[in-house]
Amino acid sequence: MSENKYDNFKTLINSPLGEAYFKSLAATIPHIVCIADSQNFCIKYINRLPSGRPFESLIGKEIFNYVWPEYIVIFKQKIQDVKDSGKPNVLDLAITPADDAKGKLWYRVYISIVSGLEDSGARLMFLAENITESKRTELENINKSERIKAIINNTKDIICSIDCDHNLMEFNSMFAALVKKGYGVDMQAGMPVLQFVDPAKHERLKEIYKRVEKGEVYCDIESFQTLNGHEVYNESSYNPIYDVDKKIIGINIFSKDITERVKNEQKIKSALNEKEVLLAEIHHRIKNNLAMVSSLLQLQEMNINNAEVKEALALSRKRIKSTALIHELLYRSESFQNVKLKDYLTELFHLLKMNNNTLLQLKGDEVNLNLLTAMPLGLMMNEIMLNSFKHSYNEKSTGQIEISIITLANKLLIYYSDFEGDFPDTVDFENSKTTGLTLIHTFAEQLNGSIEMVSKAPPKYLIQLPLNENQ
């Protein structure tokens, strides 16, 4: 009840109709009306009682018996102020209900001196308006606010809000402590936030603020120089603040120190760079060592007259070159971990072909293979190509090989086709004891795959290998 309404009520009480009118009116209003002696504070009259409390239990009892102890002192002080000044006063009180399980009941109590009731002596009138629900909501909001403040102030991150003129509105204790330590300034609401930022960063931050003031949520990583010369990194999130009319009135800023994370990432990146350099050097040295072995075999080949031995050395030298080629491709690649199958087959073809008139037609999907898969597959393809040049195009000036690569679910299919020539009828492809075919089947088995001849004239092969995410 507002004070104006209360004054009107008091006027009615003091009207000539007297006590009867007062009690009739008091019985109809929703609030509790209580009359107490102004000297001993004993209850003389009450229009209604809190639920569960007998009427007789209140009459003649001191009014302070029904007020929570922590409010008694201020209640007495308010009463004394009313008695001294003759003017009404108001305060919020917690009343003890008859049923303690309900907890506190809150009332807004209006206090005044009245006369003309029962006798000519002055009395204290208390008009109590039940505000329990609104008070509980208010207290819950206060508690919630305190919990949020505790969370915000206990974080190690910087949290603040600024208005559209870039002045501070709210900030947490971490931000205040950093400013105090770095600038020797006690932060206050209304201070320009940019005065605590390196001037070299001002223009960039202003651009960010403009974008956020248009409704954008912006994230950014910035490096800052501290007063002691250390470089720190902060990851910041900028979010617009809206009022009830959905108008942007400011910016929330959440900034996290990620210096340790950035430095760890730099260390990892440096270690990876060192590893890549080391791997590149390893593949380069292996390639050079294999080239040296190949050269030694070539020297041996030149000094031998036995045609069969000479051919065996030549084939061994080509197999070594095929192995060296894989390491060369790894050395030239960016990751040093995967070989591009199409690149390898193209290089291998040019390494083994007998003349420039023999062509390679390469089709299909690009596949990256790790070293454990690329090495045996590369050596298998080396043997198949050697067979093509030896049997299909041995005495021919021109020729063509077609290779199709297909990835199907978790399987790799390679179709290899000669366009001329015949596979010897005297040779059993599946059970031959020749070195080349033995190597082909051995490598297919090593890869958990298979190879089958789908045509003898001209020779055509189908290679099937399992693929997984590591290949």
Query: Residues 92-124: pLDDT tens digits?
Result: 988 766 555 556 788 899 999 886 544 445 789
Could you tell me if 407 and 463 are in contact, meaning their C-beta atoms sit under 8 angstroms apart? no
89 vs 428, higher pLDDT: 89
59 vs 16, higher pLDDT: 59
398 vs 374, higher pLDDT: 374
Q: Which CATH superfamily is domain 348-471 in?
A: Histidine kinase-like ATPase, C-terminal domain (3.30.565.10)
Q: Which CATH superfamily is domain 3-132 in?
A: PAS domain (3.30.450.20)
Indicate the domain borders of the chain: 3-132, 155-257, 259-336, 348-471
What does pTM read for this prediction?
A: 0.45
Q: Is residue 38 helix, strand or coil?
A: coil
Which residues touch 90 (CB under 8 Å, ≥6 apart)? 3, 78, 108, 109, 110, 111
Residue range 134-165, pLDDT digits in tens: 888 888 888 887 887 777 778 888 889 999 99
Given this model, what pLDDT does residue 53 score? Answer: 65
Q: Give me the residue label for tokens 């932060």.
A: 187
Given this model, what pLDDT does residue 120 score? Answer: 47
Establish whether domains 3-132 and 348-471 are of one fold. no
**Can you tell me the mean pLDDT for 181-203?**
87
In whole angstroms, what is the distance from residue 385 CA to residue 403 CA? 11
Q: What percent of the chain has pLDDT over 70?
A: 86
**Which pairs from 101-108 meet CB under 8 Å and 24+ separation?**
104/68, 104/132, 105/50, 105/130, 105/132, 106/130, 106/131, 106/132, 106/135, 106/136, 107/32, 107/131, 107/132, 108/1
Quick one: fold of 155-257?
Answer: Beta-Lactamase (3.30.450)
**Can you tell me the mean pLDDT for 318-339?**
73
Query: Where does 18-68 have alpha helices with state H?
Result: 18-28
Query: What DSSP letter does each residue of 160-201 carry, written as one string?
Result: EEEETTSBEEEE-HHHHHHHHHHH-----TTSBGGGGS-GGG
